[in-house]
């Protein structure tokens, strides 16, 4: 029974991810959403009442306006998700996903360490 519940929430999360991105791109008319973004992940609670949607916005100066626009449009988006024919359309919670930026930062730190080690080994020779 538990695996069926996880499969259902995973399937629903995937549907919400695809539909939400489509709705934002095609139906939300707020100019603040006209930027490069992607929905990276969706977490749906077990009771299917809430969906936390992680959004990655590529242009740093557009992150705050985009997140405000999404929070403002969450009711509109939720209404359009009603077409998924669920008993309850989950309440949407939008979160900024900075994992890509964090990964780039970690990669640059690793590169710095490698360059430092290489320069120190070159000085020893």
Q: Does any domain span residue 125?
A: no
* Host H or E run for residue 111: helix 99-124
Q: Rounded CA gap, 113 and 122, in Å?
A: 14
CATH code of 25's domain: 3.30.300.20
Structural domains in the chain (count): 1
How large a percentage of the chain has pLDDT more than 70?
Answer: 94
The whole-model pTM stands at 0.79
**Per-residue confidence (pLDDT) for residue 48, from 0 to 100:** 87
pLDDT tens by residue, 6-16:
688 898 999 99
- As a whole number, mean pLDDT of residues 39-59 equals 94
Range of the domain at 21: 2-98
Q: Does any domain span residue 27?
A: yes
Mean pLDDT of the chain: 89
């Amino acid at each position: 029974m538990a695996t069926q519940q996880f499969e259902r929430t995973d399937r629903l999360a995937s549907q919400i991810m695809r539909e939400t991105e489509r709705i934002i791109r095609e139906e939300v008319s707020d100019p603040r959403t006209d930027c490069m973004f992607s929905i990276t992940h969706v977490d749906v609670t077990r009771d299917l009442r809430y969906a936390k949607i992680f959004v990655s916005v590529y242009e740093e100066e557009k992150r705050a306006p985009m997140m405000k626009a999404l929070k403002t449009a969450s009711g509109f988006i939720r209404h359009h998700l009603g077409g998924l024919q669920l008993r309850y359309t989950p309440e949407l919670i939008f979160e900024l996903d900075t994992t890509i930026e964090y990964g780039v930062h970690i990669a640059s730190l690793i590169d710095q360490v490698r360059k430092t080690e290489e320069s120190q080994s070159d000085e020893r020779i």
